[in-house]
Structure 1
Amino acid sequence: MRIATASAYQAAIQNLQDRQLDLTDAQVRLTSGKRVLRASDDPTAAARAERALATTERATVSQRAVESSRTAMTLAESALGDAVGLLQAARESLVAAGNGTYTAAERQGLAQQLQQYRDQLLSIANRQDGAGNYLFAGQGAAGAPFINTPGGVQFTGIGGAVSVASGEVLPATVDGQMTWMSAGTGNGVFETQRTAVSGAAWIDSGRVTDPAQVQGLRYDVTFSVAAGVTTYSVQPRDPGTGTPVGGAITGPYTSGAAIAIDGISFNISGTPADGDEFRILPSEPSLSVFEALDRAIAGLRNGNAIPAEVVQTTTDGLRNVDSVLGRLQSVRSAVGDTLNRIDGVEDRLSSIKLAAQVDRSNAEDLDMVQAISDFQNKQTGYDAVLKTYGTVQRMSLFQYLG
């Protein structure tokens, strides 16, 4: 079979170009560390790598959202810790105000302390995160969510909480309405009130003796004094309309003795006057942190208060501060639980991201040991082709005759 010189040249050049192309491709893959550079290299592996990349990106975005929630909840937990500390200090001031040896001026000094605590609490309630968002704005507010008005502090935000854009429902704010404005009045079941008292008597916070018998009614306690004998009458009423419900119970009054009705009991102490009235109402979730302090401040600033009124002020103040303190501690615990849940979510996202990265690596990454060996083999083959081409190029009649 005759092979023309031109054909031999062409075959050698084609072989050289093919080897050079293979060597260049091997060099590119070795440099990039990728086995699959184009979808055409391995369509199945390319699709698998693309799915893994999408999973990684979703996990990365979710991690950023989770970190945003973590920052907000950390700041909120710190703010609630500061608020709890201030309320505990306010409670100590109220305990001191109950000292019978204190003068009106000293009680007014304690009222000034309570006012400072109250102002600091308002500042905490309007605390922001680093991005200018209010921690306790709930679902949003045009400005500061808590506004100080002549009638007391008002919440201008929207109840609820904003959640971050993540696969998990994680909050970016705390419900300010629930946290600061919705503690239970009284002892959480009912509230005792000193409504119309001209004598020297006061009422405690009461207690539940039998939860199964609690009726959720209003009770009006009226005193009668005749011939030096004091008696009381307790009339149950509908809490909404004030309509009497059943008959009243009566009994002789003894200072400090418990009065019991429908699974609840309370103590009235001191010397009530004829016609003095106390009231027991069902507890409602309407007591704010600021209202609790405002009531105590107003009572302590009354320079003409008689000892019974001072006792009532401190008794009610301690009861109310304990109620709002319990609410803040409960919310703080919930925020702490959220931070723990965020840690769990972060761990799961990290695991998902790592698994996706491993899957992508398995689909498209290069086996470096094998790739180096292949590159060296192709380089050797390319060198051999170059030598062959050099030999073929010298194959001519003129060189032979020479």
Structure 2
Amino acid sequence: MRITNTATFARSVAALQDRHSELADLQDHLNAQKRVLRASDDPVAAARAERAQAQIARSDAQQRAVDASRNAMSQTESTLSDAIDLMQDARETLVQAGNGALGDSERANIGNKLQGLRDQLLALANREDGAGNYFFGGQGSSAPPFVNGPAGVAFRGTAGTQTGADGGEGLALTVDGQGAWLQAPDGNGLFKASNTNSTTAWSDGGHVTNPAAFFAATSPPAVADPSALRYEVKFSGTAGDMSYTVLKNGEAMDAPKPWTGTSTSGGRAVEFDGMSFAIGGAPADGNVFEVRLSQPKQSVFDTLDRAIAALKTPNRGSAQVQQTVQEGMAGLDGSLTALGSLRSRAGESLNHADAAEERNASLKLQGQEARSQAVDLDPYQALSEFQLKNTGYEAALKTYSMVQRLSIFNYIGG
């Protein structure tokens, strides 16, 4: 078979071009440090890399949600800390008002101080993150969620919480402030003792002395409707010969008892059904003190508004002032407990965000490792292959140069 010089040269040039193309392609992979630059390089590995990249992108998106939640809950926790400090200041200020040596003007000044603390609390309840999101606005509010009105402070937000998605988990962006600021359990959290008509005696917040007896007497089936349960402590008689009767939903629980007892908290204790509260001062004939189970309607603003109005009212007796102080402290204590619980939930949300961040970091690392395994280049192997191909290319060049000299004219010339 006759082979022409032209065909030989063409084949040599084609072989050189192929080797040069392979060498250039390997050079591109070395420069990029990638084994797979195009899907055609390795379709299976390219698909794996795409899935890994999608996992990395999801992790990045979830991390943005984590960062947003952490920022919101950090500011919420800080705001609640400030609110608790203000309420503790208000409580200490209210205790000062119970000093019997103070006159009307001094108590009015204390009322003015409480008004300032109350206004600061309202500003904290309406604090926003700078982007129009209110920390205590629930599921969202385009305006401050807590609004002053004729009946006091009302909630204008949407109940619930706003969350950001994190792989199916909810990361809090806001909290439902209505429950903590306006709907804390009143009284001592279990029952509320109140003075209905006495101007010469007062009652404290009381406490449960026997939990078993308390819950047995105030829970179903002993009581069909606990919210309707009412106790009354009615006084009758004259000074020095006073007695009281305890009624449960209008029926006397026992015979009248003389007004004697153990002195507690500046008063004398009245005990029944596992409950105890102190009555101080001098109860008069016809005075009634009521006890009912706590209800979720304690507003810190209403508590302060009542105390402020009472302290600014002149010519009030010592027992009336003490009643104002006792009711104010009980209300603040209930709201402090509610805000403290809300602060704990904000702390739990921060812990949740930290755990979510760790999970996202782990998932992102897995994605990065999977992508690396699919497309990254082994530099030592690639360099060895490059050197091998380069040697082959140089050999091909030498072969081509030798083929070019295979001409009869070279021999004639010799």
Q: Where does the alignment leave 5 or more consecutive residues of structure 2 unmatched?
A: 219-225, 262-266
In structure 1, what residue type is equivalent to 2:235? F
Superposed displacement of residue 109, structure 1: 0.8
The share of aligned pairs that are identical, in percent, is 50
Superposed displacement of residue 265, structure 1: 1.6
Aligned to 1:251: 257
Is the counterpart of residue 374 in structure 1 residue 402 in structure 2? Answer: no
The C-alpha deviation readout for 1:13-54, integer Å capped at 9, x for no partner, is 111111011011101111111111223322332222222111
Aligned to 2:133: 133
Q: Call closer, same or farther: CA 1:3–1:48 in 2, change over 3 Å.
A: same
The C-alpha deviation readout for 1:84-123, integer Å capped at 9, x for no partner, is 1101111110111111111111111111111001000100
Aligned to 2:17: 17
Superposed displacement of residue 125, structure 1: 0.5
- TM-score calculated relative to the size of structure 1: 0.94
* Cα distance between partner residues in 2 of 1:186 and 1:5: 110
Is the counterpart of residue 357 in structure 1 residue 368 in structure 2? Answer: yes
Aligned to 1:331: 342
* Cα distance between partner residues in 1 of 2:145 and 2:325: 30
Aligned to 1:321: 332
Q: Where do 4+ consecutive residues of structure 1 move more than 6 Å? A: none
Superposed displacement of residue 384, structure 1: 2.3
Is the counterpart of residue 224 in structure 1 residue 226 in structure 2? Answer: no
Q: Secondary structure at the match of 1:102?
A: coil
Q: Which moved more, 1:42-51 or 1:388-397?
A: 388-397
- TM-score calculated relative to the size of structure 2: 0.91
Superposed displacement of residue 360, structure 1: 1.0
Is the counterpart of residue 54 in structure 1 residue 54 in structure 2? Answer: yes
* Cα distance between partner residues in 2 of 1:156 and 1:249: 50
Q: Call closer, same or farther: CA 1:249–1:57 in 2, change over 3 Å.
A: farther
* Cα distance between partner residues in 2 of 1:124 and 1:145: 11
Aligned to 2:177: 176
Aligned to 2:289: 278
In structure 1, what residue type is equivalent to 2:304? L
* Cα distance between partner residues in 1 of 2:279 and 2:206: 9
* Cα distance between partner residues in 2 of 1:27 and 1:79: 59
Aligned to 1:37: 37
* Cα distance between partner residues in 2 of 1:341 and 1:40: 43
Aligned to 1:186: 187
In structure 2, what residue type is equivalent to 1:182? Q
* Cα distance between partner residues in 1 of 2:63 and 2:255: 64
The answer (yes or no) to whether the contact 1:100–1:307 under 8 Å persists in 2 is: yes
Superposed displacement of residue 202, structure 1: 0.7
Is the counterpart of residue 301 in structure 1 residue 302 in structure 2? Answer: no
Q: Call closer, same or farther: CA 1:249–1:80 in 2, change over 3 Å.
A: farther
* Cα distance between partner residues in 2 of 1:209 and 1:339: 37
Superposed displacement of residue 245, structure 1: 5.1
The answer (yes or no) to whether the contact 1:236–1:248 under 8 Å persists in 2 is: no
* Cα distance between partner residues in 2 of 1:387 and 1:246: 121
Cα root mean square deviation, aligned: 1.7
Superposed displacement of residue 248, structure 1: 5.6
Aligned to 1:158: 158
* Cα distance between partner residues in 1 of 2:238 and 2:328: 33
Is the counterpart of residue 385 in structure 1 residue 396 in structure 2? Answer: yes
Q: Which moved more, 1:96-105 or 1:2-11?
A: 2-11
Aligned to 2:223: none
How many residues are treated as equivalent by the alignment?
395
* Cα distance between partner residues in 2 of 1:122 and 1:249: 48
Aligned to 1:236: 248
Aligned to 2:221: none
The answer (yes or no) to whether the contact 1:235–1:249 under 8 Å persists in 2 is: no
Superposed displacement of residue 213, structure 1: 2.4
Aligned to 1:109: 109
The answer (yes or no) to whether the contact 2:232–2:289 under 8 Å persists in 1 is: yes
Superposed displacement of residue 379, structure 1: 2.1
